[in-house]
Amino acid sequence: MKLRTYFDNLAERERRLLVIFFGILGFLLLVFVPVLVRMGVSDRAAENERLEAVIQSISSERVTIAKRQAQADRLEQRYGTPAPPLAGWLAKIADEVGVEIPETQDRSTVPRGKTFKERSTHIRLSKVGMYKLSTFMERVSASDYPVVISRLDIKKRSGKPDEYDAELDIAAFDREEKKVVKKPAPKPAVPDEDTPPDEEGEQ
């Protein structure tokens, strides 16, 4: 009632200005409030997209780290088990595959960096079929030991459709255990004979 009375007591010009003011204020509210709300929603959506991108990036990094860790674990497991003597191991695989190794020659061990040592064996296969040769090579390469075929030379025998002579160098890598050098314990100090003992009861 007080506002109504106040409004009725205003002059005609003041009433018109007041109506125009409230009209402009209402128009501004109708226009700018939805705009501000939309801007807030847009900012919230942009922030959500940024957070989703950060979460996706962290997830991708976790997957990458997990893959690297799994690969490191496989390498650690493989190099943690040294290969047996190559000549006997290769002869066993050859017997299982059905090929003969008429010639075997062990090579001297060669250091590879500060961590590994390479020992290799040269073998020669004679009159072997391609299927048995590939099976033999696959068994060697797919073993759990750190072994690789470092050299391969295949020659086809004349007059035979599926007979080959092959020479292979198989290398095994052994991890050299680090030797822990223990420092000698410090010797206890020996008192000097010329130094007189502490006098007791000195006042």
Q: Would you kindly state where each structural domain of the chain is located, as residue ranges?
A: 1-80, 86-175
Using the predicted structure, report yes or no on whether residue 186 has a pLDDT greater than 70. Answer: no
CB distance 173 to 150 below 8 Å: no
Mean pLDDT of 84-99: 92
CA 19 vs CA 1, 3, 23, 31, 121: distances in Å: 18, 14, 6, 18, 103
Architecture of domain 86-175: 2-Layer Sandwich (3.30)
Which range among 14-23, 78-87, 90-99, 141-150 has the greatest average pLDDT? 90-99
* Residue 68 pLDDT: 67
Which is it for the CA torsion 135, 136, 138, 139, positive or negative?
A: positive
Q: Which tokens is 124 given?
A: 């020669």
Q: Say how far apart CA 155 and CA 168 lie, in whole Å.
A: 12
pLDDT per residue as tens digits for the range 130-180: 999 999 999 998 888 888 898 999 998 887 788 889 999 999 888 876 655
* Residue 167 pLDDT: 93
Q: Could you give the percent of the chain with pLDDT greater than 70?
A: 73
Q: Could you give the percent of the chain with pLDDT greater than 90?
A: 22
Q: Say how far apart CA 116 and CA 130 lie, in whole Å.
A: 33
* Residue 71 pLDDT: 60
Residues in the chain: 203
Mean pLDDT of 25-51: 74
**Pick the residue with more confidence: 61 or 92?**
92
* Residue 136 pLDDT: 92
Q: Say how far apart CA 82 and CA 67 lie, in whole Å.
A: 24
Q: Say how far apart CA 31 and CA 35 lie, in whole Å.
A: 7
CB distance 103 to 165 below 8 Å: no
* Residue 124 pLDDT: 93
* Residue 201 pLDDT: 47
Please classify residue 123 by burial: count the beta carbons closer than 10 Å to its beta carbon, then call 0-12 exposed, 13-18 middle and 19+ buried.
Answer: buried
Mean pLDDT of 50-56: 76
